[in-house]
Amino acid sequence: MSITRRQVLAGLAGLGVVGLGATAGVRYWLGRPLFADTHDYELIAAPADLELVPGHQTPAWTYGGQAPGLELRSRQGDWLRVRFINHLPEPTTIHWHGIRLPLEMDGVPYVSQLPVLPGEYFDYRFLTQDAGTFWYHPHTSSAEQLGRGLVGPLIVEEAQPTGFEHERTLGLKTWHVDEQGAFTDFSVPRQAAREGTRGRLTTINGERLPVLELPAGHVVRLRILNLDNTVTYRLNLSEGDARLYALDGNPIAPRPLGKEYWLGPGMRIDLALRAPDDGREISLRNGPLRLATLRGLATSQPAGDWPAPLPPNPLSEPDLQTAETLSFNFEWAGALSSPVKTGGFTFWQINGQAWDINDKTCADRPIARLKLGQSYLFELRNMAQYQHPIHLHGMSFKVLASNRRKIEPYFTDTYLLGKNETAKVALVADNPGVWMFHCHVIDHMETGLMAAIEVV
Ligand code: C2O
Ligand code: CU
Ligand code: CU
Protein backbone atom coordinates (compact mmCIF):
# COMPACT_ATOMS: atom_id res chain seq x y z
CA MET A 1 0.00 0.00 0.00
CA SER A 2 2.30 2.73 -1.12
CA ILE A 3 0.75 6.02 -0.32
CA THR A 4 2.94 9.04 -0.57
CA ARG A 5 2.72 12.21 1.47
CA ARG A 6 1.94 13.95 -1.81
CA GLN A 7 -1.78 13.89 -1.15
CA VAL A 8 -1.21 15.45 2.24
CA LEU A 9 0.91 18.21 0.82
CA ALA A 10 -1.64 18.89 -1.85
CA GLY A 11 -4.19 19.14 0.91
CA LEU A 12 -2.20 21.67 2.86
CA ALA A 13 -1.38 23.75 -0.17
CA GLY A 14 -5.05 23.81 -0.98
CA LEU A 15 -5.98 25.57 2.21
CA GLY A 16 -4.93 28.90 0.76
CA VAL A 17 -6.80 28.28 -2.43
CA VAL A 18 -10.20 27.64 -0.96
CA GLY A 19 -9.69 30.27 1.72
CA LEU A 20 -10.82 28.36 4.76
CA GLY A 21 -10.21 29.46 8.29
CA ALA A 22 -11.22 33.01 9.05
CA THR A 23 -13.33 33.37 5.95
CA ALA A 24 -15.13 30.06 6.30
CA GLY A 25 -18.71 31.11 6.44
CA VAL A 26 -22.15 30.11 5.52
CA ARG A 27 -21.35 29.55 1.88
CA TYR A 28 -19.27 26.53 2.79
CA TRP A 29 -22.27 24.85 4.25
CA LEU A 30 -24.10 24.76 1.01
CA GLY A 31 -22.11 21.97 -0.58
CA ARG A 32 -23.71 23.21 -3.77
CA PRO A 33 -22.73 21.94 -7.16
CA LEU A 34 -20.09 24.35 -8.42
CA PHE A 35 -21.03 23.67 -12.01
CA ALA A 36 -24.44 22.17 -12.06
CA ASP A 37 -24.11 20.00 -15.13
CA THR A 38 -20.74 18.42 -14.31
CA HIS A 39 -21.72 17.31 -10.80
CA ASP A 40 -18.98 19.15 -8.99
CA TYR A 41 -19.48 19.48 -5.29
CA GLU A 42 -17.66 21.02 -2.43
CA LEU A 43 -18.54 18.92 0.57
CA ILE A 44 -17.56 19.84 4.10
CA ALA A 45 -17.60 17.55 7.08
CA ALA A 46 -18.03 19.60 10.23
CA PRO A 47 -19.69 19.51 13.64
CA ALA A 48 -23.16 21.04 13.86
CA ASP A 49 -25.86 20.95 16.50
CA LEU A 50 -29.03 19.27 15.26
CA GLU A 51 -32.44 19.20 16.86
CA LEU A 52 -33.20 15.49 16.65
CA VAL A 53 -35.09 15.52 19.93
CA PRO A 54 -37.48 18.51 20.03
CA GLY A 55 -36.13 21.24 22.28
CA HIS A 56 -32.68 19.66 22.57
CA GLN A 57 -29.41 19.91 20.69
CA THR A 58 -27.36 16.97 19.54
CA PRO A 59 -23.68 17.63 18.78
CA ALA A 60 -23.73 15.86 15.43
CA TRP A 61 -21.11 15.62 12.72
CA THR A 62 -22.48 16.53 9.34
CA TYR A 63 -21.81 16.53 5.61
CA GLY A 64 -22.87 19.88 4.21
CA GLY A 65 -24.34 20.94 7.55
CA GLN A 66 -26.95 18.19 7.69
CA ALA A 67 -27.38 14.58 8.77
CA PRO A 68 -28.02 12.48 6.84
CA GLY A 69 -25.58 14.38 4.65
CA LEU A 70 -26.26 16.37 1.54
CA GLU A 71 -27.76 14.26 -1.25
CA LEU A 72 -25.14 14.03 -3.98
CA ARG A 73 -26.29 13.31 -7.52
CA SER A 74 -24.58 12.20 -10.67
CA ARG A 75 -25.70 10.65 -13.93
CA GLN A 76 -24.69 7.27 -15.26
CA GLY A 77 -21.68 7.65 -17.54
CA ASP A 78 -20.69 11.04 -16.08
CA TRP A 79 -17.87 11.94 -13.73
CA LEU A 80 -18.63 12.85 -10.17
CA ARG A 81 -16.17 15.28 -8.64
CA VAL A 82 -16.30 16.06 -4.96
CA ARG A 83 -13.84 18.32 -3.19
CA PHE A 84 -14.07 17.01 0.32
CA ILE A 85 -12.95 19.32 3.12
CA ASN A 86 -12.43 18.04 6.63
CA HIS A 87 -13.48 20.46 9.35
CA LEU A 88 -13.85 17.73 11.95
CA PRO A 89 -11.52 17.57 14.93
CA GLU A 90 -10.14 14.24 13.68
CA PRO A 91 -8.97 12.46 10.50
CA THR A 92 -11.55 10.95 8.18
CA THR A 93 -12.14 9.64 4.63
CA ILE A 94 -15.15 9.12 2.37
CA HIS A 95 -16.03 5.70 1.04
CA TRP A 96 -18.60 5.50 -1.79
CA HIS A 97 -20.67 2.49 -0.88
CA GLY A 98 -21.66 0.34 -3.85
CA ILE A 99 -19.83 2.42 -6.44
CA ARG A 100 -17.42 0.55 -8.70
CA LEU A 101 -14.41 2.82 -8.94
CA PRO A 102 -10.60 2.80 -8.97
CA LEU A 103 -8.97 1.92 -5.66
CA GLU A 104 -7.49 5.40 -5.14
CA MET A 105 -11.03 6.77 -4.80
CA ASP A 106 -12.38 4.09 -2.45
CA GLY A 107 -11.73 5.99 0.77
CA VAL A 108 -10.15 3.25 2.87
CA PRO A 109 -7.35 4.69 5.03
CA TYR A 110 -3.86 3.28 4.40
CA VAL A 111 -5.24 1.11 1.60
CA SER A 112 -6.54 3.61 -0.92
CA GLN A 113 -5.46 6.90 0.61
CA LEU A 114 -4.06 8.53 3.73
CA PRO A 115 -6.67 9.84 6.13
CA VAL A 116 -7.74 13.41 5.43
CA LEU A 117 -6.49 15.36 8.44
CA PRO A 118 -8.42 18.23 10.05
CA GLY A 119 -8.10 21.27 7.80
CA GLU A 120 -7.10 19.24 4.74
CA TYR A 121 -9.06 18.45 1.65
CA PHE A 122 -9.16 15.56 -0.79
CA ASP A 123 -10.50 15.54 -4.33
CA TYR A 124 -12.61 12.51 -5.10
CA ARG A 125 -13.38 12.02 -8.75
CA PHE A 126 -14.71 8.98 -10.49
CA LEU A 127 -16.92 7.87 -13.33
CA THR A 128 -20.35 6.70 -12.20
CA GLN A 129 -20.83 3.58 -14.32
CA ASP A 130 -23.92 2.26 -12.59
CA ALA A 131 -27.21 4.05 -12.06
CA GLY A 132 -28.95 3.57 -8.75
CA THR A 133 -29.23 4.40 -5.09
CA PHE A 134 -25.86 4.46 -3.32
CA TRP A 135 -24.44 6.21 -0.27
CA TYR A 136 -21.28 7.56 1.28
CA HIS A 137 -19.67 7.43 4.70
CA PRO A 138 -16.22 7.50 6.36
CA HIS A 139 -14.05 4.40 6.73
CA THR A 140 -12.27 5.64 9.87
CA SER A 141 -13.52 5.40 13.47
CA SER A 142 -16.71 4.22 11.89
CA ALA A 143 -18.83 3.52 14.98
CA GLU A 144 -18.41 7.10 16.13
CA GLN A 145 -18.19 8.92 12.79
CA LEU A 146 -21.21 7.24 11.22
CA GLY A 147 -22.90 7.29 14.63
CA ARG A 148 -22.57 11.06 14.85
CA GLY A 149 -24.22 11.49 11.47
CA LEU A 150 -21.61 11.15 8.72
CA VAL A 151 -23.80 9.22 6.29
CA GLY A 152 -25.35 10.53 3.09
CA PRO A 153 -27.16 9.40 -0.05
CA LEU A 154 -25.50 9.32 -3.47
CA ILE A 155 -27.97 9.04 -6.32
CA VAL A 156 -26.81 8.12 -9.80
CA GLU A 157 -29.57 8.91 -12.27
CA GLU A 158 -30.16 6.68 -15.26
CA ALA A 159 -28.57 7.90 -18.50
CA GLN A 160 -32.02 8.00 -20.15
CA PRO A 161 -35.22 9.16 -18.47
CA THR A 162 -37.11 6.38 -16.71
CA GLY A 163 -40.86 6.11 -16.38
CA PHE A 164 -40.72 7.62 -12.88
CA GLU A 165 -42.02 11.16 -12.61
CA HIS A 166 -41.72 11.52 -8.86
CA GLU A 167 -39.19 10.33 -6.36
CA ARG A 168 -38.23 10.70 -2.70
CA THR A 169 -35.11 9.68 -0.81
CA LEU A 170 -35.66 8.15 2.62
CA GLY A 171 -32.53 7.73 4.74
CA LEU A 172 -33.13 5.53 7.78
CA LYS A 173 -31.05 5.96 10.91
CA THR A 174 -31.60 5.04 14.53
CA TRP A 175 -29.57 7.51 16.56
CA HIS A 176 -27.62 6.69 19.69
CA VAL A 177 -29.11 9.52 21.73
CA ASP A 178 -30.98 9.82 25.03
CA GLU A 179 -34.12 11.85 25.79
CA GLN A 180 -32.07 15.04 26.00
CA GLY A 181 -30.44 14.44 22.64
CA ALA A 182 -27.05 13.59 24.18
CA PHE A 183 -25.12 10.81 22.51
CA THR A 184 -25.01 7.46 24.24
CA ASP A 185 -22.26 4.87 23.60
CA PHE A 186 -21.88 4.06 19.91
CA SER A 187 -20.32 0.74 20.78
CA VAL A 188 -20.76 -1.38 23.88
CA PRO A 189 -18.52 -4.48 23.91
CA ARG A 190 -21.28 -6.72 25.24
CA GLN A 191 -23.49 -5.67 22.31
CA ALA A 192 -20.67 -5.74 19.75
CA ALA A 193 -20.27 -9.41 20.56
CA ARG A 194 -23.95 -9.92 19.78
CA GLU A 195 -26.19 -8.06 17.31
CA GLY A 196 -24.34 -4.74 17.59
CA THR A 197 -25.08 -1.63 19.63
CA ARG A 198 -28.48 -0.16 18.79
CA GLY A 199 -29.52 3.44 19.01
CA ARG A 200 -32.92 4.48 20.32
CA LEU A 201 -34.23 7.27 18.13
CA THR A 202 -35.43 6.02 14.77
CA THR A 203 -35.58 8.69 12.08
CA ILE A 204 -36.13 9.18 8.39
CA ASN A 205 -33.97 11.96 6.97
CA GLY A 206 -33.23 12.97 10.55
CA GLU A 207 -36.89 13.28 11.51
CA ARG A 208 -38.86 11.08 13.84
CA LEU A 209 -42.17 9.81 12.38
CA PRO A 210 -42.28 12.20 9.44
CA VAL A 211 -45.39 12.75 7.34
CA LEU A 212 -44.52 12.65 3.65
CA GLU A 213 -46.94 14.12 1.16
CA LEU A 214 -47.08 12.32 -2.17
CA PRO A 215 -49.04 13.11 -5.35
CA ALA A 216 -52.28 11.19 -4.89
CA GLY A 217 -52.65 8.17 -7.15
CA HIS A 218 -49.27 8.70 -8.81
CA VAL A 219 -46.45 6.18 -8.83
CA VAL A 220 -43.54 7.48 -6.74
CA ARG A 221 -40.05 6.06 -6.63
CA LEU A 222 -39.04 5.66 -3.01
CA ARG A 223 -35.31 5.28 -2.57
CA ILE A 224 -34.97 3.78 0.89
CA LEU A 225 -31.49 3.60 2.38
CA ASN A 226 -30.39 1.93 5.58
CA LEU A 227 -27.72 4.35 6.82
CA ASP A 228 -27.66 2.85 10.29
CA ASN A 229 -24.74 1.20 12.09
CA THR A 230 -26.70 -1.72 13.47
CA VAL A 231 -30.41 -2.02 12.80
CA THR A 232 -31.98 -4.26 10.18
CA TYR A 233 -35.32 -2.66 9.31
CA ARG A 234 -38.13 -5.07 8.46
CA LEU A 235 -39.83 -2.81 5.97
CA ASN A 236 -43.48 -3.14 5.13
CA LEU A 237 -46.15 -1.03 3.53
CA SER A 238 -49.05 -3.37 4.00
CA GLU A 239 -51.78 -0.83 3.21
CA GLY A 240 -50.08 0.33 0.02
CA ASP A 241 -49.48 -1.01 -3.45
CA ALA A 242 -45.68 -1.16 -3.68
CA ARG A 243 -43.29 -2.93 -6.03
CA LEU A 244 -39.56 -3.52 -5.78
CA TYR A 245 -37.65 -2.12 -8.76
CA ALA A 246 -34.05 -2.28 -7.56
CA LEU A 247 -32.04 -3.88 -4.77
CA ASP A 248 -28.90 -2.12 -3.55
CA GLY A 249 -28.77 0.04 -6.65
CA ASN A 250 -29.25 -2.78 -9.15
CA PRO A 251 -32.50 -3.14 -11.10
CA ILE A 252 -34.53 -6.33 -10.83
CA ALA A 253 -37.61 -7.56 -12.65
CA PRO A 254 -40.25 -5.59 -10.70
CA ARG A 255 -42.14 -7.62 -8.13
CA PRO A 256 -44.49 -6.86 -5.26
CA LEU A 257 -42.82 -5.72 -2.05
CA GLY A 258 -44.56 -8.57 -0.30
CA LYS A 259 -45.03 -8.94 3.40
CA GLU A 260 -41.73 -7.56 4.59
CA TYR A 261 -38.29 -6.70 3.23
CA TRP A 262 -35.33 -7.01 5.58
CA LEU A 263 -33.06 -4.07 4.90
CA GLY A 264 -29.75 -4.59 6.71
CA PRO A 265 -27.20 -1.86 7.44
CA GLY A 266 -25.79 -0.44 4.20
CA MET A 267 -28.58 -1.85 2.02
CA ARG A 268 -31.01 0.05 -0.20
CA ILE A 269 -34.20 -0.60 -2.13
CA ASP A 270 -35.95 1.34 -4.85
CA LEU A 271 -39.68 0.92 -4.51
CA ALA A 272 -42.46 2.06 -6.76
CA LEU A 273 -45.41 3.06 -4.62
CA ARG A 274 -48.85 4.01 -5.86
CA ALA A 275 -49.44 7.01 -3.59
CA PRO A 276 -52.71 6.95 -1.61
CA ASP A 277 -55.73 8.96 -2.74
CA ASP A 278 -56.13 12.56 -1.69
CA GLY A 279 -56.22 12.81 2.09
CA ARG A 280 -55.65 9.10 2.65
CA GLU A 281 -52.69 7.93 4.73
CA ILE A 282 -50.69 4.75 4.85
CA SER A 283 -47.78 3.78 7.09
CA LEU A 284 -44.28 2.69 6.26
CA ARG A 285 -43.36 0.35 9.07
CA ASN A 286 -40.44 -1.50 10.57
CA GLY A 287 -42.16 -4.71 11.64
CA PRO A 288 -45.11 -3.39 13.67
CA LEU A 289 -43.53 0.02 14.34
CA ARG A 290 -44.42 3.05 12.28
CA LEU A 291 -41.50 4.80 10.57
CA ALA A 292 -43.41 7.34 8.51
CA THR A 293 -46.87 8.36 7.38
CA LEU A 294 -47.38 8.70 3.63
CA ARG A 295 -50.26 10.98 2.73
CA GLY A 296 -51.85 11.46 -0.67
CA LEU A 297 -52.26 15.01 -1.88
CA ALA A 298 -54.45 15.87 -4.88
CA THR A 299 -52.68 17.00 -8.04
CA SER A 300 -54.05 18.22 -11.33
CA GLN A 301 -51.81 15.95 -13.43
CA PRO A 302 -53.23 12.60 -14.48
CA ALA A 303 -51.62 9.63 -12.78
CA GLY A 304 -49.33 7.47 -14.90
CA ASP A 305 -48.99 3.72 -15.16
CA TRP A 306 -46.39 1.52 -13.48
CA PRO A 307 -43.02 2.36 -15.06
CA ALA A 308 -41.12 -0.16 -17.16
CA PRO A 309 -38.30 -2.05 -15.42
CA LEU A 310 -35.14 0.00 -14.90
CA PRO A 311 -32.33 -0.70 -17.39
CA PRO A 312 -29.68 -3.12 -16.05
CA ASN A 313 -26.26 -1.83 -15.05
CA PRO A 314 -23.23 -2.84 -17.16
CA LEU A 315 -22.02 -5.66 -14.90
CA SER A 316 -20.00 -8.67 -16.02
CA GLU A 317 -21.85 -11.95 -15.86
CA PRO A 318 -19.79 -14.49 -13.87
CA ASP A 319 -18.92 -17.67 -15.75
CA LEU A 320 -19.99 -20.47 -13.45
CA GLN A 321 -18.36 -23.14 -15.63
CA THR A 322 -14.87 -21.82 -15.00
CA ALA A 323 -15.47 -20.14 -11.63
CA GLU A 324 -13.16 -21.06 -8.78
CA THR A 325 -14.91 -21.65 -5.46
CA LEU A 326 -13.78 -19.90 -2.30
CA SER A 327 -15.33 -20.41 1.12
CA PHE A 328 -15.72 -17.72 3.72
CA ASN A 329 -16.80 -18.63 7.22
CA PHE A 330 -18.05 -15.85 9.43
CA GLU A 331 -17.58 -16.88 13.02
CA TRP A 332 -17.83 -15.64 16.52
CA ALA A 333 -14.36 -15.35 18.00
CA GLY A 334 -15.33 -14.33 21.50
CA ALA A 335 -14.82 -17.82 22.86
CA LEU A 336 -11.32 -18.02 21.48
CA SER A 337 -8.56 -16.51 23.52
CA SER A 338 -7.81 -13.91 20.87
CA PRO A 339 -5.20 -11.62 22.28
CA VAL A 340 -6.32 -8.04 22.65
CA LYS A 341 -3.57 -6.67 20.50
CA THR A 342 -3.81 -2.95 20.31
CA GLY A 343 -6.49 -2.14 22.78
CA GLY A 344 -9.54 -3.18 20.76
CA PHE A 345 -11.85 -6.12 21.21
CA THR A 346 -11.94 -9.14 18.96
CA PHE A 347 -15.31 -10.82 18.74
CA TRP A 348 -15.55 -11.87 15.12
CA GLN A 349 -13.43 -13.44 12.41
CA ILE A 350 -13.48 -14.61 8.80
CA ASN A 351 -11.83 -17.98 8.13
CA GLY A 352 -10.10 -17.75 11.48
CA GLN A 353 -8.67 -14.31 10.80
CA ALA A 354 -9.79 -11.24 12.72
CA TRP A 355 -9.20 -7.78 11.33
CA ASP A 356 -7.58 -5.35 13.74
CA ILE A 357 -8.71 -1.78 13.00
CA ASN A 358 -5.69 -0.43 14.86
CA ASP A 359 -3.19 -2.36 12.74
CA LYS A 360 -2.46 -0.43 9.55
CA THR A 361 -0.84 -3.46 7.92
CA CYS A 362 -3.86 -5.80 7.91
CA ALA A 363 -4.56 -5.14 4.24
CA ASP A 364 -1.06 -6.42 3.41
CA ARG A 365 -2.35 -9.89 4.29
CA PRO A 366 -5.40 -10.35 2.07
CA ILE A 367 -7.68 -13.25 2.87
CA ALA A 368 -7.91 -14.12 -0.83
CA ARG A 369 -6.08 -13.24 -4.04
CA LEU A 370 -8.20 -13.20 -7.16
CA LYS A 371 -6.95 -13.22 -10.73
CA LEU A 372 -8.06 -10.25 -12.76
CA GLY A 373 -10.79 -11.26 -15.19
CA GLN A 374 -11.45 -14.65 -13.58
CA SER A 375 -14.88 -15.67 -12.23
CA TYR A 376 -15.28 -16.74 -8.61
CA LEU A 377 -17.98 -18.42 -6.60
CA PHE A 378 -18.01 -17.41 -2.94
CA GLU A 379 -19.62 -19.63 -0.37
CA LEU A 380 -20.62 -17.39 2.49
CA ARG A 381 -21.25 -19.31 5.67
CA ASN A 382 -22.64 -17.70 8.78
CA MET A 383 -21.63 -19.83 11.76
CA ALA A 384 -23.37 -17.53 14.22
CA GLN A 385 -26.90 -16.78 15.37
CA TYR A 386 -26.60 -13.08 14.49
CA GLN A 387 -27.05 -11.87 10.96
CA HIS A 388 -24.32 -10.17 8.96
CA PRO A 389 -24.88 -7.82 6.01
CA ILE A 390 -21.80 -8.86 4.03
CA HIS A 391 -20.42 -6.09 1.84
CA LEU A 392 -17.68 -5.99 -0.79
CA HIS A 393 -15.98 -2.88 -2.09
CA GLY A 394 -15.01 -2.26 -5.70
CA MET A 395 -17.12 -4.93 -7.40
CA SER A 396 -20.72 -6.06 -7.41
CA PHE A 397 -21.56 -9.73 -7.01
CA LYS A 398 -24.47 -11.88 -8.04
CA VAL A 399 -26.46 -13.69 -5.37
CA LEU A 400 -27.27 -17.17 -6.67
CA ALA A 401 -28.58 -19.38 -3.90
CA SER A 402 -29.19 -19.78 -0.20
CA ASN A 403 -29.95 -22.73 2.02
CA ARG A 404 -32.54 -20.63 3.87
CA ARG A 405 -34.60 -18.86 1.24
CA LYS A 406 -35.55 -18.85 -2.39
CA ILE A 407 -33.34 -16.51 -4.41
CA GLU A 408 -34.13 -14.81 -7.70
CA PRO A 409 -30.51 -14.20 -8.74
CA TYR A 410 -29.59 -10.51 -8.56
CA PHE A 411 -26.56 -8.26 -8.39
CA THR A 412 -25.71 -6.42 -5.21
CA ASP A 413 -22.88 -5.02 -3.08
CA THR A 414 -24.30 -6.22 0.24
CA TYR A 415 -25.99 -9.47 1.12
CA LEU A 416 -27.82 -9.94 4.40
CA LEU A 417 -26.57 -13.32 5.56
CA GLY A 418 -29.13 -14.60 8.04
CA LYS A 419 -28.33 -16.58 11.13
CA ASN A 420 -26.64 -19.89 10.28
CA GLU A 421 -27.32 -19.27 6.59
CA THR A 422 -25.07 -20.39 3.75
CA ALA A 423 -25.30 -18.43 0.52
CA LYS A 424 -23.60 -18.69 -2.84
CA VAL A 425 -22.61 -15.56 -4.69
CA ALA A 426 -20.49 -15.11 -7.80
CA LEU A 427 -18.49 -12.35 -9.40
CA VAL A 428 -15.99 -11.52 -12.07
CA ALA A 429 -12.82 -10.14 -10.49
CA ASP A 430 -12.75 -7.24 -12.91
CA ASN A 431 -11.41 -4.42 -10.75
CA PRO A 432 -7.74 -4.54 -9.70
CA GLY A 433 -6.98 -3.49 -6.16
CA VAL A 434 -7.25 -4.40 -2.51
CA TRP A 435 -10.92 -4.40 -1.59
CA MET A 436 -12.51 -4.47 1.83
CA PHE A 437 -14.89 -7.32 2.46
CA HIS A 438 -16.79 -6.89 5.69
CA CYS A 439 -19.93 -7.03 7.73
CA HIS A 440 -21.77 -3.70 7.68
CA VAL A 441 -22.89 -3.98 11.29
CA ILE A 442 -20.25 -1.46 12.29
CA ASP A 443 -19.65 -3.08 15.66
CA HIS A 444 -18.92 -6.40 13.96
CA MET A 445 -16.64 -4.81 11.39
CA GLU A 446 -14.67 -3.00 14.08
CA THR A 447 -14.24 -6.10 16.23
CA GLY A 448 -12.83 -8.39 13.59
CA LEU A 449 -15.38 -9.08 10.84
CA MET A 450 -13.43 -7.53 7.99
CA ALA A 451 -10.87 -8.76 5.50
CA ALA A 452 -9.13 -7.60 2.34
CA ILE A 453 -9.55 -9.30 -1.03
CA GLU A 454 -6.87 -8.57 -3.55
CA VAL A 455 -7.48 -8.60 -7.29
CA VAL A 456 -4.30 -8.76 -9.38
CU1 C2O B 1 -20.38 0.97 3.30
CU2 C2O B 1 -16.69 -0.66 3.72
O3 C2O B 1 -18.55 0.16 3.45
CU1 CU C 1 -18.54 -0.10 0.52
CU1 CU D 1 -22.03 -8.88 11.34
Give 262's pLDDT tier (boundaries 50, 70, 90).
very high
What pLDDT score does 23 carry? 29
Q: How far is the CA of 99 from the centre of ligand 2 (A)?
A: 8
What pLDDT score does 69 carry? 98
Identify the residue with better confidence: 128 or 339: 128
| Superfamily for domain range 166-297 | Cupredoxins -  blue copper proteins (2.60.40.420)
What pLDDT score does 345 carry? 87
Q: Is 98 in the pocket of ligand 1 (CB under 6 A)?
A: no
User: What's the count of helices (H) and strands (E) in the chain, helices before strands?
Assistant: 4, 30
Three-class SS state of 7: helix
The per-residue pLDDT for range 280-302, each reduced to its tens digit, is 999 999 999 999 999 999 999 88
Three-class SS state of 294: strand
Strands laid side by side in the 289-297 sheet: 211-215, 289-297, 281-286, 233-236, 261-263
Q: How far is the CA of 394 from the centre of ligand 2 (A)?
A: 7
What pLDDT score does 343 carry? 57
User: Is the per-residue pLDDT at 104 higher than 50?
Assistant: yes
Q: Is 444 in the pocket of ligand 1 (CB under 6 A)?
A: no
The per-residue pLDDT for range 354-407, each reduced to its tens digit, is 999 889 999 999 999 999 999 999 999 999 999 999 999 999 999 999 999 999
User: Is the per-residue pLDDT at 89 higher than 60?
Assistant: yes
Determine which residue's CA is closest to atom 3 belonging to ligand 1: 97
What pLDDT score does 30 carry? 41
As residues whose CB is below 5 A from the ion ligand 3, the structure lists 388, 439, 441, 444
* Antiparallel, parallel or unpaired: β 152-157 and 132-137: antiparallel
Q: Which ligand is nearest to the CA of 331?
A: 3
What pLDDT score does 150 carry? 98
Give 419's pLDDT tier (boundaries 50, 70, 90).
very high
The CA-atom distances, in angstroms, between 332 and each of 283, 338, 446 are 37, 11, 13
Q: How far apart are CA 419 and CA 387, in angstroms?
A: 5
Which CATH architecture is the domain 3-157 placed in? Sandwich (2.60)
Q: Is 268 in the pocket of ligand 1 (CB under 6 A)?
A: no
| Mean pLDDT computed over 219-245 | 97
What pLDDT score does 12 carry? 32
Burial of 371 from C-beta contacts in 10 A (0-12 / 13-18 / 19+)? exposed
Which residues make up the CATH 2.60.40.420 domain(s) of the chain? 3-157, 166-297, 324-455
Q: How far apart are CA 110 and CA 96, in angstroms?
A: 16
The CATH classification of domain 324-455, taken from the options 2.60.120.260, 2.60.40.10, 2.60.40.420, 1.10.150.110? 2.60.40.420
Give 18's pLDDT tier (boundaries 50, 70, 90).
very low
Give 218's pLDDT tier (boundaries 50, 70, 90).
very high
What pLDDT score does 39 carry? 59
Task: Name the CA radius of gyration of the chain, rounded.
Answer: 21
Ligand 1 atom with minimal separation from the 137 CA: 1
Strands laid side by side in the 166-175 sheet: 201-204, 166-175, 219-226, 268-274, 241-247, 250-256
Give 456's pLDDT tier (boundaries 50, 70, 90).
very high
Identify the residue with better confidence: 2 or 139: 139
User: Is the per-residue pLDDT at 57 higher than 80?
Assistant: yes
Strand intervals (E) in 87-191: 95-97, 121-127, 132-137, 152-157, 166-175
User: Is the per-residue pLDDT at 2 higher than 80?
Assistant: no
